[in-house]
Structure 1
Amino acid sequence: MAELVSLLPPSTNNAYQGWKLAAWALTVLAAGTIIPALIHIGLPDGGAGVIAGLDLSQGRHTIISLFAWAGTTQFVWGLILLAISLRYRSLVPLALALLVTERALHTWNMWGPKGTPLAGGHHPPEAWVTLGSVPVLAMLLALSLRRARGG
């Protein structure tokens, strides 16, 4: 009979030598990923109208479905970030590098050629948060790759 493998293997925290600030910031980023995900999943319009200010008069069902889908993916990503930040810290640099990549691509998609603002030049709140997050995430990535003082 085959042996079962644990869903959560032993911690790899002992291998992380970067700045603790970067790992703890990843915990905050995980919460900042999970909470909006629950909004996208839980609100009747997924936040598309009441938060993002999208016009739902045409394509309402499609827009709400896409917000729910994005929220589901975002929720799982947030759980992974939380597990890394609390238990698998040797993966903090990788997680931050992936976050920088994700946020940079989101920024390009929101502010670049595809990122036409809504009526009146309005960008949803997420567009502004994403724009500001890229340099902060890059700084956290750099700190996670530097050996912490005294360590």
Structure 2
Amino acid sequence: MRFIPVIVLALMGLINLGRGAIHAFAPDGGAHSIAGLEATPTVLSLFATLGLSQMAKGVFELAVAARWRSLVPLFLAMQAVDTALAMANLYLWRPLPVTVPGQPFNLALLVVQLIALAIALRRPAK
């Protein structure tokens, strides 16, 4: 079971690379074509910034999963906090005028991240 956190972190790295590339490089950043939002220049700039940071995070998550396994709990915790804050924003603080595809998907991801984090933090049985 100790491999589950590593797999979850690697998958999050791939997800962050994928969605980051869409936000950074798609003509509308996915704002209109995926989320149904108006793709104004301000939104495009914010999406590109978000996307580039998601890609950077994804690269680091993949590196940790591949090479620096002792950091897996830290990176899972960072990802879970990031996802939880994004969900708090989208559902409670500053909700968008439409439900975007990332909302329900990220709720499911948060549960998976928290389970993987709990496994990663569990002490081995003696």
TM bracket (short chain): over 0.9
Q: Deviations over 1:39-86 (max 9, x none)?
A: 111111111110111023xxx110111111100111101101010111
Q: 2:13 aligns with which of 20, 25, 30?
A: 30
Partner letter of residue 122 of structure 2? R
Q: Which has the higher helix share?
A: 2
Distance apart, 1:143 and its partner CA:
0.6
Q: Deviations over 1:82-118 (max 9, x none)?
A: 1011100000000011111111100100000311x42
Say if 2:108 is the partner of 1:128.
no
Aligned to 1:15: none
Correspondence 1:11-90 to 2 at 5 A = 19-56=2-39, 60-90=40-70
Name the TM-score, length of structure 1 as normaliser. 0.78
Distance apart, 1:148 and its partner CA:
5.4
Q: Which runs of 4+ in 1 moved over 3 A?
A: none
How many residues are aligned here? 126
Cα distance in structure 1, aligned partners of 2:109 and 2:120 = 16
- For the aligned residue pairs, the C-alpha RMSD in angstroms reads 1.7
Partner letter of residue 134 of structure 1? L
Distance apart, 1:25 and its partner CA:
1.6
Distance apart, 1:127 and its partner CA:
1.3
Larger radius of gyration: 1
Structure 2 unmatched runs, 5+: none
Say if 2:92 is the partner of 1:112.
yes
Name the TM-score, length of structure 2 as normaliser. 0.92
- Return the structure number with greater relative CO, CA threshold 8 A, min gap 6: 1
Structure 1 unmatched runs, 5+: 1-17
Cα distance in structure 1, aligned partners of 2:68 and 2:38 = 42
